[in-house]
Chain A
Amino acid sequence: MTRLRMLEHTADVGFEVEADSLGGVFEAAAAALLRVLFEGELPRRGRRRERLALAAPDLETLMVRWLDELIYRVQTRGEVPVRTRVRLTAAPQGRRLEAELELLPFEEVRDRFAGEVKAATYHGLVVEEAEGRFRARVILDV
């Protein structure tokens, strides 16, 4: 089961997500990002699929890279990752993320766009396992 809670922050926007797996936390973080970027429900199926691989020395850095990558896809490539499937594995120097993205052209959901996000920050960033559940807390610069 996945949980998502938006956090109050005076200047920026934050969220906390919880899931049964580490991959699930990264998927939930992507969903939380979309909730900041768009109003209302987005279609669950994309028009195009793409695979993505990222690596980082630790989980927090991987989370920032993951969210920054998705922000870039929306803002520069004009593609919205409406659905993500994420798998995490150990890498020689840290962690590796492999994802399958289902992408929808931004133009199709432009009317629901709510405002830009500049980047994910390291401020107060947490990605952790506690009692068999996985949790992340992220502040986005908007």
Chain B
Amino acid sequence: MNVSFVQEDRYTFRIPRKGKMRADAVFFASKRILAHLESENYASLVQLMNVATLPGIVEPALAMPDIHWGYGFPIGGVAAFDPEAGGVVSPGGVGFDINCGVRLLASGLERRDLEPRKAWLADRLYERVPAGVGSKRRDVKLNRRSLARVLEEGAGWVVRQGWGEADDLDHIESGGRLAGADPGRVSERAYERGLPQLGTLGSGNHFLEVQYVEQVYDPEVAAAFGLREDQVTVLIHTGSRGLGHQVCQDHVQKFLQVAPKYGIELVDRQLAAAPIESPEGRAYLGAMAAAANYAFANRQLITHYVREAFEAAGFAPRDHALRVVYDLAHNNAKFETHGGRRVLVHRKGATRAFGPGASDLPPAYAAVGQPVLVPGDMGRYSYVLVGTAGAMEKSFGSSCHGAGRVLSRARSKKQVKGRDLVRELAEAGIELRAVSRRTVAEEAPEAYKDVAEVVQVVEGAGLGRRVARLRPVIVVKG
């Protein structure tokens, strides 16, 4: 495909506005990432250019270095829209898994404490955190009324039931509750799908990982986050499950019907959009916030069961001392102020990366910036970064959300055929528990970019700074 861009500095590339684009597009990449983009015939950059055609976009449309081809918006896409300038909201800019995100827990344990009980803990986690399709929590009984409370109150509802600590809520993006949630905008089918799934992991790239801090790059910020070398940590990656998928489905269909009424020309139907200040736009934002709250509550409930699993594996609460470092969203749309304008920032496969002094940060992190959690793949490592002033200036306070795939699921399976990945990972010191062998093959480490490469670009472009690297020791996959 014909995509022309200019290199602005070592890691920043600009696609000047052309055709129906209303803004320039900017992406961050290294030479190697650029080669990946070329190998997929720049399909994800074309998607980024499509995003730039939407009304009311505030320049530029952005893509993080983990960009890859998605549907509608590219994965790694960030775009801000001004409600005062006819800006739109697009469910395709949030994705089907609304508020899919990650939560990092830090423990009081060291790697050597874990080693003798590693396999035992892996089994307890696998038992207590349901994963895969049809997975249900039989021990959490929700009815429609209590689910509506979850949609309104998010993680706070879970904590008030006794499944968590009040302090957990202070370390979640937006306190674990997105404002403006309107459970009345969530369809009956979405309720039906959400009722049995709260506290479940799902499948695909969702996971639960126990890790240890392998390296600290910035001792001062690491101390502010409560992280130190050899410390055991837990990363939880999941979202709003079927409830969020249904909210997205319902509203894409509605937006496709109303887009012509608002004069919105769609170059890709998955970019279906409506003005932020329209009845349809407000209805989606109310439903989206409700689904986001479900996702915050989901990660909170899983946190409770992770704590239980550690206790079942013989670690007393005062020893494991699991506490939330941070919980952030990969897929959402939020009202924020950037450059003095109140805008709706869509992040799809991207993470908020607010720098020091920004609003909406836990007091403990206000002086250093927010933790930015960047999962890698199950065989290598993940990173903790810190948000920077550079991100506030260049990317609407955003950063990458992970490594980004380089192999399709089919190619990944083909590539690992005949290999015993479970054994390979065990030999590398990683206990893997998975519902589906196919998911394991699809999620093989080589299916992803080396996350270190992505993080290098983020740091080089000034969108975040490395704080620590985490090495997996237990992986639970759906």
Contacts and interface: CB of A to CB of B under 8 A. Distances in A.
B70 A142 contact: no
A52 interface: no
B204 A76 contact: no
14 contacts: A10-B68, A10-B407, A11-B75, A12-B71, A13-B409, A76-B192, A114-B436, A115-B203, A121-B71, A121-B72, A122-B252, A122-B272, A141-B95, A142-B409
B131 to A, nearest CB: 10
Contact of B204 (A10, A74, A125, A142): A142
B71 A123 contact: yes
Would you call the interface of chain B mostly helix, strand, loop, or mixed?
mixed
Given A118-B96, A118-B97, A122-B269, A11 B68 contact: yes
B248 interface: yes
Nearest to B443: A115
Q: Which 9 A-B pairs have the closest CB atoms?
A: A123-B71, A122-B269, A121-B71, A114-B438, A118-B96, A123-B270, A8-B408, A122-B270, A116-B203
A31 to B, nearest CB: 17
B103 interface: no
Contact of B411 (A8, A37, A39, A118): A8
Contacts of A107: 134
Interface string A70-89: 00101110100000000000
Nearest to B405: A10
Interface string B63-103: 00000111110010000000000000000000111000000
Interface of A: 6, 8-13, 37, 39, 57, 60-61, 64-65, 68, 72, 74-76, 78, 106-107, 110, 113-116, 118-119, 121-125, 139, 141-142
B193 A75 contact: yes
Contact of B436 (A6, A76, A115): A115
Contact of B133 (A64, A75, A121): A75
Contacts of A125: 269
B40 interface: yes
B71 A139 contact: yes
Nearest to B69: A10
A115 B438 contact: yes
B408 A9 contact: yes
Contacts of A106: 133-134
Given A61-B256, A119-B249, A11 B405 contact: yes
Nearest to A12: B71
A123 B72 contact: yes
B132 interface: yes
A107 B193 CA distance: 18
A77 to B, nearest CB: 9
Contact of B410 (A6, A57, A75, A116): A6
B478 interface: yes
B249 A68 contact: yes
A113 B96 contact: no
